[in-house]
Amino acid sequence: MNKEQLVKAIAAQTTTTKKDAEKILTATLETIMETVATGDKVVLVGFGTFEPRHRSERTGRNPQTGKPMTIPATTVPAFSAGKLFKEKVAES
């Protein structure tokens, strides 16, 4: 499912228009990204948690040369599915 299909599904399940559903979805996603980017969590009970996770510096290998190299520390976005979401997927 892509964003357009998701917008159509939201509009079909609610009384909003496709245009309004797209605005709401876009605002929701932007808010989640901005919140996680500032280092905070977004918890949607039953659905899951969006959070930043720190990856420590580590040693890796250059795939072209095989020589060891240092991979710098970084912060990445992460999602952990909630209990209800996991149960729904497991039923399928």
Mean pLDDT of 86-92: 91
Residue 27 sits in the same domain as residue 62: no
Residue 65 sits in the same domain as residue 83: yes
Q: List, for residues 68-87, the tens digit of each pLDDT value.
A: 999 999 999 999 999 999 99
Residue 70 sits in the same domain as residue 50: yes
* pLDDT at site 22: 96
* pLDDT at site 92: 80
Nearest in space to 79 (alpha carbons), one of 52, 39, 40: 52
Taking the C-alpha atoms of residue 82 and residue 79, their distance in angstroms, rounded to an integer, is 9
Q: List, for residues 17-38, the tens digit of each pLDDT value.
A: 999 999 999 999 999 999 999 9
Confidence check: pLDDT of 49 > 90: yes
Domain range for 65:
42-92
CA atoms 28, 30, 81, 12: torsion sign: positive
Residue 47 sits in the same domain as residue 89: yes
Q: Are strands 42-44 and 68-71 parallel, antiparallel or unpaired?
A: unpaired
Residue 74 sits in the same domain as residue 49: yes
Give the global pTM: 0.82
